Structure 1
């Protein structure tokens, strides 16, 4: 727990504009722990969030924030014979492209990979992935036990942030009062309910944040896929594949290089804000009536390999080609 003097000193350090100092990982851990535990007064909390937004979080700060969060998230344990749980965050609002993250999640579940999607549900949350999943017949779980049962049944589990950590949910929802995103939006992407037994899918739009996350993952043992996504949600650009990297044990491996130019689509995708049209589009893709964009298939292969469901990337690509044909219905 930070003392009032320590908090004041931190605020002074991070709130100096161009002269701001980055916090050490241990400092960041203590600060975010107090934020989640409700020990930061409202005035100071707003100042911290605003200062971090304009300073930008360093790799050490992100690591400390993530550690504090994941110490306060319930652990989901699955049988050891299963692949790693693929953890997919979804916190972006409707963007330019239709939200195809539900397609990725449901394809993985069809290929017998445990999948957990987490994001905001209810309240003033803008339409997004969870709304598309609901239209496809996949409702959020109300408890961790229900999510585990869903995973054991081989289905994609959807958990609202409020169930995983109510304090994180509250911090994210401050966007409506503050008028912009805050650090909680970034840290939510790093949520890990299965430490060392998961594959987190991390997609961000900002190139500088991508670089800082790259540096952070080089210092951690956890496994994660990292890529740039135009709308900040957890799916590859359907028109142009991003660079996809796999991180584990402090190392990085490039699985797919970024493509240049845009790929032609035989069937135009629905507008990003069209939730019903997006759900219909995904349903057609899952049933084999519409082609799945190649970047999404590449991301699926990366997830299969990263989760351990495939022995190598070649095997993952073959599983994607054969498995989807057999599971379409």
Structure 2
């Protein structure tokens, strides 16, 4: 049955529960949340009801159980990628890149290229453009790394060069449609959280997950702790740099590793210097200038920023560790 032929999905009973505001709203069960979000992804919800649901969750916030159910539906809405192990049997790594840079250079492409050079298969997925920000996609284009235009191109690029950039519209079109609603509604919705915790691989793969506001650290910690399947393959959680999952060159932050149903702090704030050594970053933030600076780092003309080098070391070490009790794939 085609998506357009699927029956419509009535949401009044769900809106009644989640639409009573931050103090009066109730969380839906896993079953109801899954059914609701699946219907939203399948375009079975009317625009009026869809807007009501998105705004209700914007005000209420998602519980860990609701996030887990939404994530399950999200994963089943697209075809996962099959990736060969890198050198020394390194598991693949995914980096969500949906914010870009406004105040500091966007170093997500540098991080991914350094790890790919270590033999770690790297998938960066995100938006291709964002007005007022410099996206990873734009920097990759300046580096001569084309955006994957199909599922096969993603897998081929990961196999041949250990690196691929996947626009979310190619990786997961249904999620991309939900993200695009931000421009119509003016605010983010639950999908903006989901794409940052997405597991895009068929095999266990490590995800870099970042947060900006402390309350998101608490909700994501609750998600990965209460729902081990949500951290399948492992997840590294840390405060992001302008919403991107790359180390801040100005300071060292706490990094937590969620895996095998438990949490482990790999870098503790009490053992971190408040300020990393000064790094000569490019003065301009545009994609072309950032790309040229990244090339100079890769050539060895400019040192790798200390915080980024430490992030590369931690990630490379994690993806070569065996998973003790690998959870079932969502």
**What TM-score, normalized to structure 1?**
0.87
Matched, 1:267 2:297: no
Q: Is 1:280 paired with 2:292?
A: yes
> d(CA) in 1 for partners of 2:81 and 2:166?
12
* Aligned partner of residue 265 in structure 1, secondary structure: coil
> Does the CA contact (< 8 Å) of 1:225 and 1:306 recur in 2?
no
Residue in 2 aligned with 1:293?
305
Q: C-alpha distance in 2, partners of 1:260/1:20?
A: 42
- Give the alignment's Cα RMSD to 1 decimal: 2.3
**Structure 1 residues 126 and 37: CA distance shift in structure 2, 3 A:** farther
- Counterpart residue number, 2:60: 55
Does 2:114 correspond to 1:114?
A: no
1:94 positional shift: 2.4
**Does the alignment pair 1:11 with 2:18?**
no
Could you tell me whether the CA contact under 8 Å between 2:105 and 2:281 is conserved in 1?
A: no
Match of 1:101 in 2: 108
How far apart, in 2, do the equivalents of 1:182 and 1:53 lie? 6
Q: CA deviation at 1:193?
A: 2.1
CA contact (8 A) 1:119 1:159 kept: yes
- Summarize deviations over 1:21-42 as a string: whole Å, max 9, x none: 1222222222211111111111
Measured after TM superposition, the shift of residue 275 of structure 1 is 2.1
Paired with 1:167 and 1:177, the residues of 2 have a C-alpha distance of: 16
- Matches of 2:247 and 2:29 in 1, distance apart? 32
Do the aligned partners of residues 171 and 3 (structure 1) sit closer, same or farther apart at CA in structure 2, a change above 3 Å counting?
closer
What 5-or-longer segments of structure 2 have no aligned partner? 1-5, 323-330
CA contact (8 A) 2:279 2:305 kept: no
How many residue pairs get matched?
Answer: 309
What is the deviation of 1:154?
2.8
Matching residue of 1:137: 144
- Give 1:12-91 correspondences, 5 Å limit: 12-17=16-21, 18-79=23-84, 82-91=89-98
Q: Secondary structure at the match of 1:255?
A: strand
How far the C-alpha of 1:277 sits from its partner, in A, is 2.1
Contact 2:122 2:164 in 1 (8 A): yes
What TM-score do the two structures reach when normalised by structure 2? Answer: 0.87
**Preserved CA contact (<8 Å) 2:77 2:174:** no
1:209-244 superposed Cα distances (whole Å, 9 cap, x missing partner): 111111111121411111111411111111111111
Secondary structure of 1:118's counterpart equals: strand
Distance in 2 separating the partners of 1:123 and 1:248: 33
Question: Per the alignment, do residues 9 and 125 of structure 1 end up closer, same or farther by CA in structure 2, a change over 3 Å counting?
Answer: farther
